Structure 1
């Protein structure tokens, strides 16, 4: 099994799966009823990568709960469990999928592979009053954390505004892992969120802690 990371705390849990197994091995890790339904679903994806992502999410969810759960989607495309036993958030990047679950309230998670694209689009999501810091003298990591955190909050919020410049990260110095605050200006509440993060060798991971 390729369970890469797992964390449980205060009603929230998340995990990361490294996609290494072929499809047939992934299918064998599911309970029989879910295996049969998944085999029927897979042909609707033309991309092998999308098949791997879709199936890995289901395998990861089962490995986290050891219960068979069905993931369905709202009209806005947000995932939820058919039995409403947990709130769920899903993310994927090259080689990995991530799932977060909460028994308390909506949850958000995002995983982003290391890459330079964030430099080219930084004006779309970095505010003039935000100060991005480097990690190990590499600004890319800082930019990835800002992008990932705003994706995470977007997933956490109900009826969220897609303009990431309406989310502001409090200044922080990136470490291997930690937390920081994110203020949203998309609603009248202007809620303050706490976001947890980790920096791994080839990706960053962020998730909501409230």
Structure 2
């Protein structure tokens, strides 16, 4: 297994991308799973979903630099967490890549393969004011930054029933190969400001944030 890209965000926070090239059996042999995890794995359909699940967990092991069993569970909101280690984690995957982010504070990461279809669904996750700052010259890339930024904030916040369009608000920004976007999660009594990083890696976009 080779890490394709790794970035140290600060002293306590890092994320990595890994291109999934191994077969499922090879990945499975690198993991230590309990009975519940084995049952979950066996219930996955063969194919990308299977490889994504294995890939994120093998990458997590590599980043934690351990050969011991890692007790990684999912809470009631679907957010993964480590039972016996003092780190927050976030996992993501898209087509041939897995992404993992680790920190001592809550984090969120999202990776998406860049495709033209995002333009057709932009109105579903963007407010009118946000669509107005999209630059036609960089439209597809900028829309993917918006999607990944909102997904990363959603994962960092870690609770369900959050609307990307109504509850996660982005400030205007100009697209570059990498940069930062100011975001705000606003829902009921909750009002949190985030600074979300983004990175274009080949034909993928990555959004990442630390709470």
- 1:35 CA displacement: 6.3
- Kept in 1: contact 2:93–2:110 (CA 8 A): yes
CA deviations on 1:14-69 (whole Å, 9 max, x unpaired) are: 11111111122223444xxx168666653211232111111111110111111232
TM-score by length of 2: 0.88
TM-score, with length taken from structure 1: 0.88
* Alpha-carbon shift at residue 191 of structure 1 (Å): 1.5
What is residue 116 of structure 2 aligned with on the other side?
A: 116
C-alpha separation in 1, matches of 2:51 and 2:159: 29
Is contact 1:28-1:35 (8 Å) kept?
no
| Other structure's SS at 1:185 match | strand
Contact 1:27 1:55 in 2 (8 A): yes
Number of residue pairs matched by the alignment: 204
Conserved in 2, the CA contact under 8 Å of 1:72 and 1:80? yes
Name structure 2 gaps, 5 residues minimum.
Answer: none
Change (3 A) 1:99 1:187: farther
In structure 2, what is the Cα distance between the partners aligned to 1:53 and 1:70?
Answer: 18
- Greater shift after overlay, 186-195 or 107-116? 186-195
Q: 1:175 to 1:46 in 2, by over 3 A?
A: same
Report the Cα offset of residue 80 of structure 1: 0.6
Query: Unpaired runs of 5+ in structure 1?
Result: none
8 Å contact kept, 2:90–2:100: yes
Post-superposition offset of 1:187 = 4.1
After TM superposition, what 4+ stretches of structure 1 lie above 4 angstroms from structure 2? 35-41
Which residue is equivalent to 1:75? Answer: 76
